[in-house]
Amino acid sequence: MPVFVEVALPVPLRQNFSYRVKDEQQTSLQIGLRVKVPFGRQQLVGLITAITDSCDLAPQQIKSITAVLDDAPLLPESLYKLTLWAARYYFTSQGQMLSQALPVALRKGLDASPQSTIEYHLTEQGRQLDPNVLKRAPAQKKLFELLLENPLTQDELTTQALSKSALKALQDKQWIEQKSALITHDLSWRHKLQMNESPHKLNKQQAVAVSVLTQQQGFHCTLLEGITGSGKTEVYLTLLETILKQGKQALILVPEIGLTPQTINRFKRRFEVKVAVIHSGLTDNQRLEAWRQARVGEAAIIIGTRSALFTPMAFPGLIILDEEHDSSFKQQEGVRYHSRDLAVMRGHLEDIQVVLGSATPSLETLQNAISGRYHHLELSERAGVAQKVKQGIIDITSQPLKAGMSASLINEMRMHLDAGNQVLLFLNRRGFAPALLCHECGHLHECDRCDAFFTVHQGLNEICCHHCGNQYAIPKQCHQCGSTMLMGHGLGTEQLEQELVKLFPQHPVVRIDRDTTRRKGSLEQQLQGIYMGKYKILVGTQMLAKGHHFPDVTLVGLLDVDGALFSADFRAPERFGQLYTQVSGRAGRADKPGKVLLQTHQSDNPILRDLLQRGYGEFARSQLTERQQALLPPAWHMVLIRAEAHLAQDADAFLAQISQLIPQSNELEVIGPIPAPLDRKAGKYRRQLMLQAKNRQQLQTVFEQVLSQIERLPESKRCRWTIDRDPQDLM
Ligand code: ADP
Ligand code: ZN
Ligand code: ZN
């Protein structure tokens, strides 16, 4: 009897594909195995989603699978179901979803659970050698010394990033030999957990939180709302101890690994267990190795960014999402999934706890906590001896400014610096100046491919477009009138840094933004310099706002936030509230009291007043009411369809067609087509159509019904379009 399989493939078509299975391949066929199949002229790796004995395709159309790659399903059932659910929710195919979920090496067909590996040993001859003969070849010497202690497996070489050429050199000298070794997994942590340090004595609120969390059984989702510095991480660590002692693993998701090396180290330090850290800096092989260690249960703790959500665990016990409000948990290209929402679904499917922690919870999570769908725990006091910060507004209307700083801010800075403390200045604009202005004719130089001004980067002697990456040498003459009187307009971090060096020559300045941290390891170095007290003035963009613990920072100044208050995006006030609160939270985290000063032209702005007077918690709750009144998320549900084309009318025509297809009612509204806030980017016009529905299920059903019609629209071929469910921004 002929057997057929359906295969999910990583191609941008919303469907699975049928293949024939040859007799000799049929023995161990199962759903969830990877197969290699011909697709057009390529060979692709996909996952079996169904096994059938008939197929609709004509016999001459159907191809056979090339090979079956696994003997057991690649993913645990929970994750298989999660990708299936996510594919439906985000209106994509399971194959596309899987290509987000699987490490690249597995998508290329590498072995998911090898039984044996290659091990490198010193030869008899090698063991007689004094390592100092290698002192001119440090990489070889390092490898040699490691091998003197223990043989190393192929994977260890990969995970420890040891030099391949050093290995080859030592092999050529016949000091190293290869042997085949069985792979074993060390699961001893499950029976006897060793602690490397003793925990803090919890304060009362922390203790309450931990006791609630440790008593919950099975699936529960909990919002841990704790002000910055209230000791959330300490709560995670204590909960983790209980979970690990039960022999279960924990998955911890964080916004960006590089930004918070301290937090990662706290997890690594406390327990004597293997911690798999998964981030974008890993090679494909390192990532696969981390994935395997999690899947077999050897890694007790898995820490990673957004996509680590899909890491399988042999003994799932807990999922923590730290800084759950952070927008980096939402993928902004390809399949636009949200790791937080999928984490909650995963917790449900694996029947384990999910903890969402933040000082500034997203309105989505807050609503779920208030409505009782999630549990809600609060930490309202700073842990240890740290005190609440003092805050103040400086109205800069018609005040003289020096590089954007008012006299009162500069005075205050001087006082804190003279007392030996650090000062942090926040300015969310990198570069020297956000525009290049002609002093004679007033022309502002605009990117030729976007509706945006060029940013001036003086150090690089370039003007760059931050939207499309377009860059030129700083022009000598105005593009409009030919004048040579060109100047930077507005203030960026580069200029601020220069001015500060002049203003405070005795206090070293460090600037942290994407330009100064591009080189690998430079951010770590800069952060180290801050902890060591080498720098006294810290200037930076939001990279400085996230999660850092700088004990000597006592003053935080926010330079120019008015732009953030005026954005067209409905999430702008929420984002501003989070940013302000997180930046302020960098002040006074240890035993010294902290102060925050915010400069604004908008000192009467109601959003600002509300936030400063009542704090993020109350502010967010009133924002939630406003969203309800405006029928916006999270009260209503949203799907955004974006279309871009070289001709604006192509994008508009396509979206207008979609709008016609959707049955509108007073519970399902369609808005658009309208231009995106950045209407032209990289030479293309960008238009959008917004669907807002009262009922999530209704939105799902209606959109699923029209999706295949949308795909068949002839207009769909004339633009690039994407579907963004629960969009995080309208750009
Ligand atoms: P959060 O994650 O909420 O920002 P952390 O867990 O990083 O807070 O705690 C802030 C600081 O307070 C850290 O230096 C931490 O070591 C310290 N800390 C946390 N809990 C306690 C406690 N119970 N007693 C003393 N210090 C604590
Ligand atoms: Zn000019
Ligand atoms: Zn551009």
Split at pLDDT 50, 70, 90, the class of 196 is confident
Decide: 45 and 107 in contact? Cβ < 8 Å. yes
pLDDT at 165: 85
User: 618 is written with which tokens?
Assistant: 């109350």
Please report, for residues 58, 423, 448, 499, 644, the alpha-carbon distance to residue 507 in angstroms, rounded to integers and kept in the order given. Answer: 77, 10, 41, 12, 49
Percentage of the residues of the chain whose pLDDT score is greater than 90:
72
Ligand 3 centroid to residue 496 C-alpha, Å: 24
Decide: 329 and 364 in contact? Cβ < 8 Å. no
CA distance 32 to 539: 50
Q: Domains in the chain and their CATH numbers?
A: 3-107 (3.40.1440.60), 116-182 (1.10.10), 188-379 (3.40.50.300), 390-430+492-625 (3.40.50.300), 637-725 (3.30.70.600)
Decide: 73 and 30 in contact? Cβ < 8 Å. yes
pLDDT at 142: 87
Taking residue 559's Cβ as centre, other Cβ atoms within 10 Å add up to 24
Q: Which residues pair with 637 in a beta bridge?
A: 693
Shortest-distance Cα residue to atom 19 of ligand 1: 231
CA distance 232 to 316: 22
The answer to whether the CB of 360 is under 6 A from ligand 1 is: no
Ligand 1, atom nearest to 263 Cα: 7
Chain segment 278-317, per-residue pLDDT in tens: 988 888 989 999 999 999 999 999 999 999 999 999 999 9
CA distance 499 to 490: 14
163: buried, middle or exposed (CB in 10 Å: 19+, 13-18, 0-12)? middle
Pick from 12-21, 145-154, 614-623, 674-683: least confident: 145-154
CA angle 671, 83, 340 (to 5 degrees): 65
Q: What length is written for the chain?
A: 731
Q: Give the pairing type, strands 316-322 and 249-253.
A: parallel
pLDDT at 122: 86
Give yes or no for residue 277 having a pLDDT over 90: yes
Owner of token pair 């400063």: 612
Ligand 1 centroid to residue 233 C-alpha, Å: 7
Chain segment 94-148, per-residue pLDDT in tens: 999 999 999 999 999 998 888 777 888 888 888 888 888 888 888 888 888 888 8
Shortest-distance Cα residue to atom 10 of ligand 1: 229
CA distance 87 to 116: 35
Helix (H) or strand (E) holding 473, with range, is strand 471-473
Packed helices 77-89 and 696-712: angle between N→C axes, nearest 10 degrees: 70
481 is in an annotated binding site: yes
Percentage of the residues of the chain whose pLDDT score is greater than 70:
100
CA distance 625 to 686: 31
447 is in an annotated binding site: yes
Give the sheet arrangement for strand 553-558, strand by strand: 390-395, 595-600, 553-558, 422-426, 537-540, 509-512
pLDDT at 316: 98
Q: Which ligand places an atom closest to the C-alpha of 446?
A: 3
Chain segment 493-513, per-residue pLDDT in tens: 999 999 999 999 999 999 999
450 is in an annotated binding site: yes
Owner of token pair 């209980």: 242
Shortest-distance Cα residue to atom 12 of ligand 1: 383
Give the sheet arrangement for strand 455-457, strand by strand: 455-457, 462-464, 471-473
Owner of token pair 């200045």: 425
Helix (H) or strand (E) holding 398, with range, is none
Ligand 1 centroid to residue 386 C-alpha, Å: 9
* Ranges of H-type helices in 586-723: 606-629, 648-661, 696-712
Ligand 2 centroid to residue 159 C-alpha, Å: 56
Cis peptide before 673 (omega within 30 of 0): yes
The answer to whether the CB of 203 is under 6 A from ligand 1 is: yes
Split at pLDDT 50, 70, 90, the class of 589 is confident
478 is in an annotated binding site: yes
pLDDT at 660: 95
Q: Which ligand places an atom closest to the C-alpha of 586?
A: 1
CA distance 703 to 697: 10
Pick from 208, 225, 234, 378 the residue to mutate for probing ligand 1's pocket: most ligand atoms within 8 Å of its CB.
234
Sign of CA dihedral 488, 470, 330, 300: negative
Q: Give the pairing type, strands 684-693 and 390-395.
A: unpaired
| Average pLDDT value for the chain | 92
The answer to whether the CB of 234 is under 6 A from ligand 1 is: yes
Q: Give the pairing type, strands 3-8 and 42-52.
A: antiparallel
Greatest Cα pair distance in the chain: 86
Amino acid at 722: T
What does residue 388 show for φ and ψ, rounded to 5 degrees?
A: -65, 150
Chain segment 681-699, per-residue pLDDT in tens: 999 999 999 999 999 999 9
Taking residue 576's Cβ as centre, other Cβ atoms within 10 Å add up to 20
Ligand 2 centroid to residue 274 C-alpha, Å: 62
Please report, for residues 222, 238, 426, the alpha-carbon distance to residue 254 in angstroms, rounded to integers and kept in the order given. Answer: 16, 18, 22
Please report, for residues 372, 412, 414, 453, the alpha-carbon distance to residue 597 in angstroms, rounded to integers and kept in the order given. Answer: 36, 9, 14, 29
Split at pLDDT 50, 70, 90, the class of 565 is confident
Helix (H) or strand (E) holding 399, with range, is none
Q: Which residues pair with 436 in a beta bridge?
A: 488
465 is in an annotated binding site: yes
User: 436 is written with which tokens?
Assistant: 């290049």
Ligand 3 centroid to residue 94 C-alpha, Å: 34
Decide: 163 and 143 in contact? Cβ < 8 Å. yes
pLDDT at 328: 93
* CA nearest neighbour of 582 among 558, 608, 551, 618: 558
Amino acid at 277: V
Decide: 152 and 209 in contact? Cβ < 8 Å. no
CA distance 693 to 725: 12
pLDDT at 443: 95
Pick from 33-37, 166-170, 502-506, 508-512: least confident: 166-170
